[in-house]
Chain A
Amino acid sequence: MLLKIRDLRVSVEDKEILKGIDLEVNPGEVHAIMGPNGSGKSTLASALVGKDYFQITHGKIDYEGKNLMELSPEDRAREGIFLGFQYPVEIPGVSMVNFLRTAVNELRKYRGEEPLAAGDFLKLMREKKQIVEIDSDLTSRSVNEGFSGGEKKKNEIFQMALLNPKLAILDETDSGLDIDALRIVANGVNKLRRPDNAIIVITHYQRLLEYIIPDFVHILYKGRIVKSGDKNLAVELEKHGYDWIKQELDVEAKLSE
């Protein structure tokens, strides 16, 4: 097993957002986490990568047999966890090439490998750029600076390709994308799907899942996973909307009162 989350509770400024999450992810699997706004999807992603604004108050996260909570954010990244950010931040003055070369070499250092020579690195970059059909000039600019919404998201997948993670968490990678960009991003992700890695796709809409076919779909509502199923669950959800889930749950809640 790659990732095993047990009864995870996460608070932000003393407000509990996640109220007990259980999730298991094996290599080769793609999990989709869906849910209405405010259900805790991004909180889950942030907690997994160790942003300490999010306090884990209870539960366990086991990653390849290690207690993930004991690792710093950079060590989690070096252990192969990648987050495709919902809102990639701009870093003016830092070139994409310099940024990525530093990232790749930090990763290599962690694994006890020699740093990549400049020439080899540029070759690697050229190769990976094709996966997301990224324009060459994007990589000569500062990190995300002046990128359009679509370019930022493509850039996230490009970085994923370059860093080759074991577990990639894509946080609303589809938001703000037009249909062409969506297809390119989704194709990129599909090319990176392998039996030895796993992907968690966080999304509000089923649209992305027409391109990235998930093995499992989980519906997150009010801080809990309230329903899990296969790809058909997403289709059903799209048909009935989130109200369907809300109603079902609220009825249950009333019954139990």
Chain B
Amino acid sequence: MTNDQDKIIGEVTGGDYKYGFYTDIDTELFPKGLNEGIIRNLSAKKEEPGWMTEFRLKAFRHWQTMKMPDWAYLKIPEINYQDIIYYAAPRKKSRYESLNEVDPDLLETFNKLGIPLEEQKQLAGVAVDAVMDSISVKTTFQETLAELGIIFCSFSEAVKNHPDLVKKYMGSVVPYTDNYFAALNSAVFSDGSFCYIPKGVRCPMELSTYFRINAANTGQFERTLIVAEDDSYVSYLEGCTAPMRDENQLHAAIVEIIAMENAEVKYSTVQNWYPGDKEGKGGIYNFVTKRGLCKGDHSKISWTQVETGSAITWKYPSCILKGDYSVGEFYSVAVTNNHQQADTGTKMIHIGKNSRSTIISKGISAGKSNNSYRGLVKVLKSAENARNFSQCDSLLLGDRCGAHTFPYLEVDNRSAVVEHEATTSKIGEDQIFYCNQRGIDTETAIGLIVNGYAREVLNKLPMEFAVEAQKLLQISLEGSVG
């Protein structure tokens, strides 16, 4: 019977990474290494004001006093931070002077990724900020959105054009002292997206950022900041891919969200960084700090993530539920295959009265991978009648992978109700055979079962992305069952 299992596992782990190509484009690169000089150069390159340079340097100095966290259930090879290039930017050709003109090679790259940057070719109702390596290449539909007072631009533009907003909110949810990777990001972040929804405005389209790593030996450090004023609403999407390389590459990002009274922010991620090959060679180290602050009463922040890529994932999108009646949600599907490792989950910090949170985490492990859920539910004394419901399910494909659950509960208010449910299941040979006997081959059967298992989370994604995510799940597990 084990023979059979091995064969099936072998099949499912054989899937290919579709986005592994590299665009040969003239790129401006900084020399390798990290020091104050590099940071000053980076800041100068981006024509940043002095306060920003100072922020970076403070973060850098703090980072130097810190150690890499080792509490996650991950084996992280030592990273030589002096061996990384901290700035890589596709060079603008002089003949594309206008802001609206983008180098055709870049357009082609994003076309190949399924992200057309010409507005007329876009999915109706999705505005995109396209980031390649260290810079934003183009942001679409800016004018349309501006008519409603919505600011959607690259982080660099925001620093130039909306310094007061950036100054006020940057680092207010994730301070540079927060953790090792947050400090590193604060020192060297190069671009990202900025989004501001004014009072009472429902953003009429999905906003999205597409992150692409292209250059070799570089790290990508982007920062996203979303501010939703009273009674506003926005749905935000994030996608990411990278070329296939034998070397590991570092991606350390920060996302901060602030939701004011009665505001709602939905943040969805389809993370598909290059996971490394079948032997575990190469792939992205994805060390990301994402946190939202439900600042106003009745505010709501939802994180939905479909994590299929990266060699190592360290990521805990969290909510600080400060407002009374505020709501935090975390819906996650994390797939690990071959030698991938993921330690992911969330933190729900209840401060406001009657604050509520929901955590639905679906881990899928295949191959020789390790997949951990790590989540903290913390109810402070002030959080009268706080409610949390957590459900953490693990699905195993084969018997050489691991699934782990690390829930932490800290409850300081006796009126709080916190529920936790966890299950572990295995795709059984009998289930697959039942499908086979109805004429459904093994790959398709696994797709059916995995998508059925993850449906609760996939349903939370915007329509077009749910379909993409379903396909992605199937491809990620191609070749892997037991």
Contact with B along A50-82 (1 / 0, CB 8 A): 111100000000000000000011100110001
Task: State A163–B455 Cα separation when bound (angstroms).
Answer: 26
Task: State A163–B428 Cα separation when bound (angstroms).
Answer: 24
B444 adjacent to chain A (CB < 8 Å): yes
Task: State A78–B454 Cα separation when bound (angstroms).
Answer: 28
**Residues A93 and B439 in contact, CB atoms below 8 Å apart:** no
B466 adjacent to chain A (CB < 8 Å): no
**Residues B436 and A74 in contact, CB atoms below 8 Å apart:** yes
Stretch at the interface among A102-110, A130-138, A207-215, A232-240: A102-110
Task: State A142–B425 Cα separation when bound (angstroms).
Answer: 16
Task: State A51–B437 Cα separation when bound (angstroms).
Answer: 9
**Residues B436 and A77 in contact, CB atoms below 8 Å apart:** yes
In the assembled complex, which residues on chain A have CB atoms less than 8 Å from the CB atom of B438? 77, 99-100, 103, 106, 159, 163
A42 adjacent to chain B (CB < 8 Å): no
**Residues A53 and B436 in contact, CB atoms below 8 Å apart:** no
Task: State A91–B448 Cα separation when bound (angstroms).
Answer: 10
Shortest C-beta distance, A217 to chain B (Å), equals 25
Contacts of A135-181 to chain B: CB distance below 8 A:
142-143, 159, 163
In the assembled complex, which residues on chain B have CB atoms less than 8 Å from the CB atom of A107? 439
Q: A73-B433, A74-B440 are in contact. Are A93 and B449 (CB under 8 A)?
A: yes
**Residues A85 and B434 in contact, CB atoms below 8 Å apart:** yes
**Residues B437 and A91 in contact, CB atoms below 8 Å apart:** no
Taking CB as reference atom, which chain B residue is nearest A76?
B437
A38 adjacent to chain B (CB < 8 Å): no
**Residues B430 and A77 in contact, CB atoms below 8 Å apart:** no
A94 adjacent to chain B (CB < 8 Å): yes
In the assembled complex, which residues on chain A have CB atoms less than 8 Å from the CB atom of B430? 89
Task: State A100–B4 Cα separation when bound (angstroms).
Answer: 25
Interchain pairs with CB closer than 8 A, number? 76
**Which bucket holds chain A's interface residue count?**
20 to 34
Shortest C-beta distance, B48 to chain A (Å), equals 49
Taking CB as reference atom, which chain B residue is nearest A99?
B448
A98 adjacent to chain B (CB < 8 Å): yes
**Residues A106 and B441 in contact, CB atoms below 8 Å apart:** yes
Task: State A72–B438 Cα separation when bound (angstroms).
Answer: 12
Q: A89-B428, A89-B431, A91-B431 are in contact. Are A49 and B449 (CB under 8 A)?
A: no
In the assembled complex, which residues on chain B have CB atoms less than 8 Å from the CB atom of A50? 436
Taking CB as reference atom, which chain A residue is nearest B456?
A93
B21 adjacent to chain A (CB < 8 Å): no
**Residues A102 and B444 in contact, CB atoms below 8 Å apart:** yes
**Residues A106 and B1 in contact, CB atoms below 8 Å apart:** no
A95 adjacent to chain B (CB < 8 Å): yes
Interface residues of B (CB under 8 A from A): 1, 4, 425, 428, 430-431, 433-442, 444, 448-449, 451-455
Lowest 4 A-B CB distances belong to which pairs? A93-B452, A94-B452, A77-B439, A103-B438
